Amino acid sequence: MKQKILIVDDEMAWCDLIKEAIETADLGECDTVCNAQKAISMIKSNLENSKPYLTVLVDNFLDEYNGMTLIQKIRQIEKQSAVSRNLKIIVVSAYNLDYVNCVKIGADDCLHKPFSIKELREKVNDQ
């Protein structure tokens, strides 16, 4: 069964590109959102779904606030949920990221733009 993936990026062109790469690599089914508030809403409503998100790809720089703040909010939502879920969160950025800091905040991994389908597959499938 393919996993369900949420892509959060304020640039729809990147959302579309990442979605196409995921679908080309047959990694899962994707939803895309262009802002953090929509992402939070979708994650909250999806937690108790029979087919929840397993992976969230988060751009580091969003219009409302940065990806690190969104990651912290996602982790808070998980803790408050009656359903035990541990989403895999991958920070996606065109800028150099401090991997250790990303993990401390709650991310599971980082992916630097531009990336290959091989890199994307390794990050999404890594358990």
The whole-angstrom separation of Cα 127 and Cα 122 is 9
Give the residue, 31 or 96, on which the prediction is more confident: 31
pLDDT in tens, 93-102: 888 778 888 8
What is the arithmetic mean of pLDDT over 40-60? 86
What is the arithmetic mean of pLDDT over 28-34? 93
pLDDT in tens, 96-120: 778 888 889 899 999 988 889 899 9
Residue with tokens 């599971």: 108
Domain 3-118 homologous superfamily, CATH: Response regulator (3.40.50.2300)
How far from the centroid of its chain's Cα atoms is residue 60's Cα? 10
The whole-angstrom separation of Cα 81 and Cα 126 is 25
If pLDDT is split at 50, 70 and 90, which confidence band does 84 have?
low
Give the residue, 82 or 33, on which the prediction is more confident: 33
Cα dihedral 115→122→62→2 (10° resolution) = 120
How far from the centroid of its chain's Cα atoms is residue 5's Cα? 7
Each domain of the chain, given as residue ranges in start order, spans: 3-118
